[in-house]
Amino acid sequence: MCTVCGCGDTHSHAEDTAHAHHHGDHQHNHDHPHDHAHGHSHHHHYGLGPAGLHIGGLSQARIIKIEQDILGRNDADAARNRRYFDEHCILALNLVSSPGSGKTSLLERSIQDLKNQYALNVIEGDQQTENDAERIRATGAGAVQINTGKGCHLDGRMVEQAIITLKPADHSVLFIENVGNLVCPALFDLGEAAKVVILSVTEGEDKPLKYPDMFHRAGLVLINKIDLLPYLSFDLERCLHYVRQVNAEADIIQLTATGGEGLSQWYDWIKQKRQALLNSRIAELEQAAAVKAQL
């Protein structure tokens, strides 16, 4: 399923999709269907309608309705997960990135370093294969693999089912490795405490601007593979600036997931988030007890 995000979009123009064309020396808006025989470069922008995307065969109003239905259902599932995580003081982190940015590597290393401190579990999302769950199990942590088939993101219901299988302990940490995709996982809340976006320096510094939704929703941005900086023309300062442009609030940590710089900052961040979760749960219970005492 990914009717909402339009991933399966074929590059066709139709229906009510008004789109802008930026030709070299002029720009015009039009909504006529046409082939692609222009002899000059031009810019087709499918995100300018009210739905923010184009799906061949569907009107903008229909897309908005479908999206509201699907996301509304997902939000209800995610809210149930969040309540469960809060009641059991489970810190759930949703790791999102492009394929190959280093999510599983980071988890393998983090589990080695943290397994004596916390109970750890991992939900692994990929379209196919159980490779990542096997890598995680080799570290000794509990892992459930979710294969999404043609699907390009995890949703709240999939995570709920995985929790039933994993039965994470109270006060544990649950890492959710989403499907490698910087687009759709931004839309689907899983009930996590925070989205952690991982950007590898091999991907180029412009990704926060190209995929702003994802970076906008991040609680933490990890800039990974900084050990490779000497071999690349990646402009770190510019990248930090771009992250700030789309998200002024997110924490940012630079690191080498395979073992090296920045890992201790990442572990401190987890520790702080976990403590904040415990504190708010304690405050909640105290408040409930105070109300009960007054009755």
Ligand X SMILES: Nc1nc2c(ncn2[C@@H]2O[C@H](COP(=O)(O)OP(=O)(O)OP(=O)(O)O)[C@@H](O)[C@H]2O)c(=O)[nH]1
Question: By the criterion CB under 6 A, which residues form the site for ligand X?
Answer: 97, 99-105, 126, 132, 180, 224-225, 227-228, 256-258
Q: How far is the CB of 124 from ligand X (least distance, A)?
A: 8
Please choose which of Zn ion, ligand X, none residue 184 contacts, taking the beta carbon within 5 to 8 angstroms, the exact cut-off set by kind: Zn ion
User: SS3 of 78, please?
Assistant: helix
Q: How far is the CB of 105 from Zn ion (least distance, A)?
A: 8
Q: Are 126 and 147 in contact (CB under 8 A)?
A: yes
Give the residue with the Cβ less far from Zn ion, 41 or 116: 41
Give the residue with the Cβ less far from ligand X, 15 or 130: 130
In angstroms, the Cα distances linking 158 to 51, 77, 143, 183, 226 are 26, 9, 14, 18, 33
Give the residue with the Cβ less far from ligand X, 231 or 237: 231
Please choose which of ligand X, Zn ion, none residue 102 contacts, taking the beta carbon within 5 to 8 angstroms, the exact cut-off set by kind: ligand X
Q: How far is the CB of 190 from Zn ion (least distance, A)?
A: 15
Q: How far is the CB of 265 from Zn ion (least distance, A)?
A: 22
Q: Which residue is nearest to ligand X (CB)?
A: 180
The secondary structure element, H or E, covering residue 161 is: helix 156-166
Edge-to-edge strand order for the sheet containing 27-30?
27-30, 19-22, 44-45
Please choose which of Zn ion, ligand X, none residue 105 contacts, taking the beta carbon within 5 to 8 angstroms, the exact cut-off set by kind: ligand X
Please choose which of Zn ion, ligand X, none residue 152 contacts, taking the beta carbon within 5 to 8 angstroms, the exact cut-off set by kind: Zn ion
Give the residue with the Cβ less far from ligand X, 138 or 228: 228
Please choose which of Zn ion, ligand X, none residue 21 contacts, taking the beta carbon within 5 to 8 angstroms, the exact cut-off set by kind: Zn ion
Distance of CA 74 to the CA centre of its chain: 15
Give the residue with the Cβ less far from Zn ion, 103 or 207: 103
- Across 129-153, b (16+ Cβ under 10 Å) vs e yields eeebbebbbebebbbbbbebeebbb
Residues 139, 143, 147, 153, CA torsion sign: negative
Please choose which of Zn ion, ligand X, none residue 5 contacts, taking the beta carbon within 5 to 8 angstroms, the exact cut-off set by kind: Zn ion
Write out the residues near Zn ion by the rule CB under 5 A: 2, 5, 7, 21, 103-104, 132, 152, 184
Q: Are 234 and 242 in contact (CB under 8 A)?
A: no
Pairing of strands 142-147, 120-126: parallel
Give the residue with the Cβ less far from ligand X, 258 or 265: 258
Q: How far is the CB of 25 from ligand X (least distance, A)?
A: 41
What is the widest separation between alpha-carbon atoms in the chain?
78
Give the residue with the Cβ less far from Zn ion, 74 or 277: 74
Q: How far is the CB of 137 from Zn ion (least distance, A)?
A: 13
Pick the closest to residue 58 from 19, 20, 9 (CA basis).
9
Pairing of strands 19-22, 27-30: antiparallel
What is the phi-psi region of residue 198: left when phi exceeds 0, alpha when psi lies from -120 to 50, beta otherwise?
A: beta
Q: How far is the CB of 32 from ligand X (least distance, A)?
A: 39
